[in-house]
Amino acid sequence: MRGYLVKRIIVSLIILWIIASLNFVIFQVVSPVSPEESILPPGGGDDASMREARAILRRLYGLDEPIYIRYAKYVQNMFTWNFGTSFRSMKSVSGEMSWRMSNSILLLGLAEIATILVGIPIGIFAASRRGTKIDVATIGAGLLTWGVPTFFIQLLALLVFAYYSYVWFGFSLFPTRGIYSIPPPADPVGFVADVAWHLALPVGSLVLAGFGSWALYTRSILLETLTQDYIVTARAKGLDERTVLYRHAFRATLPPIVTVVALAVPGVVTGAMITEYLFNLPGIGQWYLTALLSADYPVVQSVLFIYAMLTIFANLFADIIYGVLDPRIRVGQGSGR
């Protein structure tokens, strides 16, 4: 197990390094906009002052050095959490990253937890009543989440709860933008309530868009488990259905479900980019978009790096947790994947 773990961690770090290198190639080698051009106003011309400004900027950002030195420094910086200075705000990227990250984690953590807490019980419920209308409705909801774009649900939510409610009731039920009111309420209880009020629509819409696939997944895994021999044995012993379902069957479905929960984390983080854009929440997704549009490469690189890192470590975590939860594969195969 330990040998396997060490191998997995090393492979993860190598993949991370490859992705960081790809990042470097994309933004600093093949990119059509050179960094100093993205800082200077467009169409600045080529007179002496502009040439001097370019030279200063090249020196400031270390762009006058040969490419391999830049690459070495870049890799070192990425792995030491030193993401450089934003071209636009001229502030440290790591500093801004941390508070934006906390906003994103708040939004997505809440959404993810709520989705799972809604989706999994519905899946169990549907599986225990296989073939009934509830079951069919669950399958329908699961299929719907494949087709409905999350941002359409969010646009509808905005239209109804923020804009139409203003016409109907004279006030907006929910705010359209931001993570707290400006100015924020002074007392802590009021502040928490204010943040909850601002997050209600984005989190609610993410849950609505996501719970169906969780329910479908739980249902199908549970149904598969319910055909196993030991369930038949448990029923034959005369245990009541509730015990069979929760004690025997559901427990066995935990490893795959936990794995999928871990694997879903990065997808939720990147997928929430549109949510942050729509509701103007200052998370890293929204930051990435604005940075990309203004060719703010240090920010773009760092966010992509963080996203990749999240995915890789979620994969790693899923592997480990699967090994811990499922004794059958604790011996250390799994390299065959």
Partner 1 sequence: MPILSKDARIIWRRRIQGFWEEFSRKKIGILGLIMLFVFIFMAIFAPWLTPYDPLAQQRVADGFAMPQWVTVFPQFQNLTNTESVWFDWSKTTESPYIIGYGRNVTVTYEPKATETFRIKFESIYTYKAPVPPNSFYLDFSWTAGNVENMEYSINLYVINPRTEKSFLLYYKTNTTPAGENSHVDSIDPILMYRLGLSPGVDILGNIVFPDKGDYRFVLEMFFKPTNPSARCDINVREGQLTVLGTAHGILGTDNAGADLWSQLVWGARVSLMIGLIAALLSTTIGITVGVVTGYLGGIVDEAMMRVVDILLCLPILPLLLSLVFLFGKNIFYIILFVAIFGWQGLSRIVRSQVLSLRESSFIECATASGASKTYIMTKHLVPNVLPVAFASLILAVPSAILFEASLSFLGFGDPRAPTWGKILQMGFGFGGFSHLAWWWIIPPGLCITLLCLAFVFMGHAIDDVVNPRLRRRR
Exposure class string for 169-184: b at 16+ Cβ within 10 A, else e: eeeeebbeeebbeeee
Q: Which is nearer to partner 1, 28 or 53 (CB)?
A: 28
Least Å from the CB of residue 152 to partner 1: 4
Residue of 199, 206, 207, 216 interacting with partner 1 (CB under 8 A): 216
CA angle 162, 163, 164 (to 5 degrees): 110
Interface stretch with partner 1, choices 71-79, 142-150, 195-203, 234-242 (CB under 8 A): 142-150
Q: Which two tokens stand for residue 134?
A: 């509830």
Residue of 6, 95, 113, 163 interacting with partner 1 (CB under 8 A): 163
**Using the rule CB under 8 A, is 152 a contact of partner 1?**
yes
Least Å from the CB of residue 160 to partner 1: 9
Say how far apart CA 177 and CA 12 lie, in whole Å: 37
Residue of 6, 13, 56, 155 interacting with partner 1 (CB under 8 A): 155
Q: What is the DSSP string of 228-275?
A: SHHHHHHHHTT--HHHIIIIIIIHHHHHHHHHHHHHHHHHHHHHHHHH
Cβ neighbour number for residue 283 with a 10 Å cutoff: 27
Q: Which is nearer to partner 1, 31 or 181 (CB)?
A: 31
**Using the rule CB under 8 A, is 271 a contact of partner 1?**
yes
Helix, strand or coil, per DSSP, at residue 282: coil
Least Å from the CB of residue 164 to partner 1: 6
Q: Which is nearer to partner 1, 185 or 282 (CB)?
A: 282
Contacts of 317 (CB under 8 A, 6+ apart): 262
Least Å from the CB of residue 8 to partner 1: 11
Say how far apart CA 119 and CA 124 lie, in whole Å: 9
Say how far apart CA 268 and CA 311 lie, in whole Å: 10
How far apart, in Å, do the first and last CA atoms of the chain sit? Answer: 16
**Positions in the binding site for partner 1 (CB under 8 A):** 11, 15, 18-19, 26-27, 30-32, 143-144, 146-149, 151-152, 155-156, 158-159, 162-164, 167, 176, 216-217, 220-221, 223-224, 266, 269-271, 273-274, 277-278, 285, 288-289, 292-293, 300, 303-304, 307-308, 311-312, 315
